[in-house]
Amino acid sequence: MNNKRQIGLAIVGCGTIGRIRAIMARDYPGIGWIGLCDINNDLGNKLFDDCKADFFTKDYNELIKRDEVDAVIIATDENHHFGPTMAAIEANASLFIEKPLATDLIESRQVLDAINAAKIDAVLGYTQRFRRRFLAVKQKLNDKNIGDVTSVVTRAFMNSMVPIATVRRTNERKNLTPMVVSGTHSLDMSLWLLEGKNPKTIFAQSVDKKLQSHGTKDATFGIFTMDDGTIFSMNISWALPTVWPGSVYGLEIGIVGTEGVIDIEDTHRDLVLASTKPQGHGYNPSGFEPTAARHVDFLTSYPPGDIYNNQLWGPMREETNSWFQRLYIGSNTPHATANDGHKNLVMTMAMDASSKIGEKIEISDDIEKEILKIQDI
């Protein structure tokens, strides 16, 4: 007989990702209570009905302070993580925070320090870690199947629906760059695969010809030198047209070692649908309507997964349910930690800072101060 206490779960943010995780929480036997929060009444009440939640409010403090709450999912827009995250820390709740930890470097540091001081179990939503192919690669690297890694090349292509939809929701756009918002996924993956190697220098450049009017950049390319001499290039463009067949993310990673190589082709071009009928868009944020129809689709290219029989199947299902297991039975899981999340933000902002001044930046103990100084130029 299972005598474990069921989990009381609060979800702050009832948009696309909050909805996915709430529906999964409804179906997980270890979740005994669900509370929701969103500033949009219609969005929140619809999810309240669909996931058979127990409570809804527009005030995250009212939700998080409830006695039923043991764990909190932060699924708000990127700029609005700080307040509810700090409230959850104060309530001593376990945390699942959608990436990034914050979009402001000072706030990210405050969140990380508070999590560590309170010894909170906090994880970040880097869903790519739960893809079977990347877990297989991670194990091969742990087993030294290609010897010592000497170089890594990463390239990410993204449909421009993401930046357009992201920046239109806020006027606080200075840190909503391709690296901070989306490149952080491929950066996290690469640094996770390079675990034990730490960035020593970074040089990056950016271009903003297409998306400048939206308040962000088109692309950022950079190269890191690690503390053991390994080199790592990290490139992302999120300015591809909205008719690009990839729903969101297309990724390629090449990893060269002293005794072998691993070549990862994750662009989803192996499963193509073409039709005279418009195919819709895998990423469909509330209130955003692309002006052109897509007639070609790279199937399985929506990062959370794919719908079959009104259920989501894929890495976000694995990620969410494994977090519930982490809470309920103490499972060891491959989630990114709060320390990982802050490091990722620092590295993405270091790339943006290097691009801004056109110079190589040393990754020292004072890197956060250096980034803030460059941001103020």
pLDDT band at 287 (very low <50, low <70, confident <90, very high): low
State how far Cα 86 lies from the chain centre. 19
What pTM, to 2 d.p., does this model score?
Answer: 0.92
pLDDT band at 170 (very low <50, low <70, confident <90, very high): low
DSSP secondary structure code for residue 229 in this structure: S
Specify the range with the lowest mean pLDDT, choosing from 20-34, 51-65, 212-226, 287-301.
287-301
pLDDT band at 148 (very low <50, low <70, confident <90, very high): very high
Q: pLDDT value at position 282? A: 62
Q: In what order do the strands lie in the sheet with 31-37?
A: 55-57, 31-37, 7-12, 71-74, 94-98, 122-125, 336-337
Domain ranges of the chain: 7-120, 129-305
* Three-state secondary structure call for residue 205: strand
Write out the DSSP string of 329-361.
H-----PEEHHHHHHHHHHHHHHHHHHHHTS-E
Helix 338-357 × helix 184-193 angle, to 10°: 120
| 289 vs 107: which has the higher pLDDT | 107
Residues 32-79 have pLDDT tens digits of: 999 999 999 999 999 999 999 999 999 999 999 999 999 999 999 888
Residues 325-338 have pLDDT tens digits of: 999 999 999 999 99
15/324 Cα distance (integer angstroms): 20
**CATH annotation of 129-305:** 3.30.360.10
- Cα separation of the two ends of the chain: 62
Residues 356-369 have pLDDT tens digits of: 999 999 999 999 99
- Percent of the chain clearing pLDDT 70 (strictly above): 95
Mean pLDDT, rounded, of the chain: 93
CATH fold match for the domains 7-120 and 129-305: no
What is the Cα gyration radius of the chain? 20
- Give the closest residue to 299 by CA, choosing from 274, 281, 272: 272
- Give the closest residue to 98 by CA, choosing from 166, 47, 150, 171: 166
62/75 Cα distance (integer angstroms): 17
Helix 315-329 × helix 16-27 angle, to 10°: 50
Q: pLDDT value at position 171? A: 54
| 173 vs 124: which has the higher pLDDT | 124
**CATH annotation of 7-120:** 3.40.50.720
Q: pLDDT value at position 164? A: 81
